[in-house]
A = this chain, B = another copy of it.
Amino acid sequence: MAYDGTPYSGFQVQVGKPTVQAELEKAIERITRQATRVVAAGRTDSGVHAIGQVIHFRSDWTHHTADLERALNAVLPDTIAVAALERAEASFHARYSAKSRCYRYDILNTATRSPIQHRFALHRSKRLDADAMHTALQSLVGTHDFRAFAAGEDRDAVTVRDVTRVTCRRSGEMVRITVEANAFLRHMMRRIVGTALEIGEGRKRTEHMKDVLTSRDKAQAGPTIPAKGLFLVRVTYPGTPGFDTTNEDLLK
């Protein structure tokens, strides 16, 4: 499924706040007349978008799944859509069955900010050296303790993660960073991008990324940049193909 995260306080239900989960549960209940709990592969933070989120829910729906999919898209807000709906094995769990997640971050690198892109890309006017960023980011590949890139409050007790692939590529005025890992720490992607930007703008050397990683010190990483350019692009399950290269080039 996909969503524009701008109007939502993240995926997960919070009392009194608009969330993607609440909208989905409301729509499912309206169509199936059955209350249910929606579980997502990635509990995206406030303002984070998705084009490849995966969810599961239990339902006694006996008609075609295509009918449920169509009905859900008819009642969901413009900012949320279900791209494909199918029956799963009872053992399938959107979060626990996932073997990896892929996030991307888009940076619009133009002299003036763009009103057309403002919901979906961070704007940076200084010319970014995407090649230097790409080189620096390669030091993250592998099994490492990513504590330096974790959120301030230390929500994640275990901070070791497996990063399987990282790219930074320029496509015209857009610079896109894509990271695939078994799982992400809270704010990890936004702090990795914040650190990469320091390198891309020439304020830090290429080696800085590796130094931050090995320091395991949160004070060494760059700032947690805004959620607006961040997308959950793909979730991979056993038996499905991995890193989706098509998403790197399509500026959707």
Contacts and interface: CB of A to CB of B under 8 A. Distances in A.
23 contacts: A2-B114, A2-B115, A2-B116, A3-B115, A4-B115, A49-B116, A51-B116, A78-B113, A78-B115, A78-B118, A79-B115, A80-B115, A81-B112, A81-B113, A81-B114, A81-B115, A83-B112, A114-B252, A116-B252, A117-B252, A119-B119, A172-B250, A251-B251
Contacts of A115: 2-4, 49, 78-81
A82 interface: yes
Interface string A29-55: 000000000000000000001010000
Nearest to A111: B83
Number of copies: 2
A78 B117 CA distance: 10
Contact of A113 (B73, B120, B172, B251): B73
A250 B120 CA distance: 16
A113 B73 CA distance: 8
Nearest to A70: B112
A209 B117 CA distance: 34
A82 B81 CA distance: 33
Contacts of A80: 115
